[in-house]
């Protein structure tokens, strides 16, 4: 009778092979993805810890997912990065109608709000829009699970429109985060926990630690090891 078993060795082989192809070197200066409102300690530790820690399996899978979708939509000719005020911006694509950010999600396509569902997406898009002196920016979203009524992958595109003051306010936050990160890099002192926690609370009310679940730094990060469980009343457990 036919039998089967899980093959952990083969799984690891493929993950290692994937990471060897997708692990690009970190830029010397701040990148928009370092300062878009997500954990500010991660880019600090990633610069400070040498050689870099291996990515978690989950982080590799997320990276593969994003890069694979981008590859099939854009190919290898992504636009050259733009540098503004010591912040590097990497726009995914530029079409005849303008710049585009490409994303994927397991959230439902039904009632998806391209501005509010993922605040860090919007922060990054506003950042790129400001750097490119644009008030509109396109977003393509690959919905891995469609709208869940019929589980069927879907792909939607949106045009986001911003007012100048929104872009300027967003850029001021980006520059504030840039200064905090550059200061940590220069002094070797990570921000204290009362600042670190703000990057895990997008609406400044509920604290979320989903970023730590896929973070390779969690064994080194002082915030994860000393504060995270306490702040989350023991609900979150490190790997």
Q: How far apart, in whole angstroms, are the C-alpha atoms of residue 93 and residue 101?
A: 7
Q: What angle do CA 152, 103, 217 make, to 5 degrees?
A: 115
Residue 218 in contact with ligand SF4, rule: CB under 6 A: yes
Among 41, 87, 89, 181, binds ligand SF4 (CB under 6 A): 41
Instruction: Compare residues 23 and 136 and give the one whose CB is closer to ligand SF4.
Output: 23
Largest CA distance in the chain: 68
Q: How far apart, in whole angstroms, are the C-alpha atoms of residue 118 and residue 105?
A: 10
Instruction: Compare residues 144 and 231 and give the one whose CB is closer to ligand SF4.
Output: 231
State the nearest-atom distance from the C-beta of 19 to ligand SF4, in Å.
Answer: 18
Instruction: Compare residues 81 and 219 and give the one whose CB is closer to ligand SF4.
Output: 219
Q: How far apart, in whole angstroms, are the C-alpha atoms of residue 206 and residue 208?
A: 6
Report the Cα–Cα distance between both ends of the chain, in Å, rounded.
37
Among 30, 32, 35, 39, binds ligand SF4 (CB under 6 A): 39
State the nearest-atom distance from the C-beta of 215 to ligand SF4, in Å.
Answer: 3
Segment lying near ligand SF4 (by CB under 6 A), choices 71-79, 126-134, 159-167, 213-221? 213-221
State the nearest-atom distance from the C-beta of 55 to ligand SF4, in Å.
Answer: 12
Q: How far apart, in whole angstroms, are the C-alpha atoms of residue 105 and residue 153?
A: 10
Residue 191 in contact with ligand SF4, rule: CB under 6 A: no
Instruction: Compare residues 57 and 166 and give the one whose CB is closer to ligand SF4.
Output: 57
Instruction: Compare residues 36 and 92 and give the one whose CB is closer to ligand SF4.
Output: 36
Residue 211 in contact with ligand SF4, rule: CB under 6 A: yes
Instruction: Compare residues 81 and 192 and give the one whose CB is closer to ligand SF4.
Output: 192
State the nearest-atom distance from the C-beta of 116 to ligand SF4, in Å.
Answer: 22
Among 121, 128, 143, 223, binds ligand SF4 (CB under 6 A): 223
Residue 91 in contact with ligand SF4, rule: CB under 6 A: no
Tally the C-alpha atoms within 13 A of residue 82's C-alpha that lie toward its C-beta. 15
Q: How far apart, in whole angstroms, are the C-alpha atoms of residue 204 and residue 119?
A: 12
Instruction: Compare residues 101 and 216 and give the one whose CB is closer to ligand SF4.
Output: 216
Residues that bind ligand SF4 (CB under 6 A): 39, 41-42, 45, 211-212, 215, 217-218, 221, 223-224
């Amino acid at each position: 009778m036919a039998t089967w078993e899980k093959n952990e060795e083969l799984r690891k082989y493929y993950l290692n092979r994937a990471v060897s192809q997708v692990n690009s070197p970190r830029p010397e200066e701040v990148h928009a993805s370092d300062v878009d409102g997500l954990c500010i300690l991660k880019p600090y530790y990633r610069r400070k810890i040498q050689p870099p820690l291996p990515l978690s399996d989950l982080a590799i899978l997320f990276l593969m997912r994003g890069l694979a979708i981008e590859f099939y939509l854009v190919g290898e000719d992504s636009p050259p990065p733009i540098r503004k005020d010591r912040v590097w911006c990497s726009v995914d694509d530029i079409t005849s109608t303008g710049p585009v950010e490409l994303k994927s999600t397991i959230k439902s396509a039904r009632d998806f709000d391209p501005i509010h569902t993922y605040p860090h997406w919007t922060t990054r898009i506003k950042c790129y829009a400001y750097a490119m002196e644009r008030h509109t920016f396109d977003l393509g979203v690959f919905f891995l699970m469609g709208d869940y009524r019929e589980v069927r992958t879907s792909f939607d595109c949106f045009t986001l429109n911003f007012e100048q003051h929104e872009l300027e306010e967003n850029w001021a936050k980006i520059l504030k985060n840039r200064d905090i990160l550059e200061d940590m890099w220069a002094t070797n002192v990570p921000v204290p926990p009362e600042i670190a926690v703000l990057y895990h609370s997008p609406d400044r009310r509920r604290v979320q630690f989903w970023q730590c679940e896929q973070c390779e730094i969690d064994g080194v990060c002082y915030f994860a090891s000393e504060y995270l469980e306490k702040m989350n009343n023991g609900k979150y457990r490190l790997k």
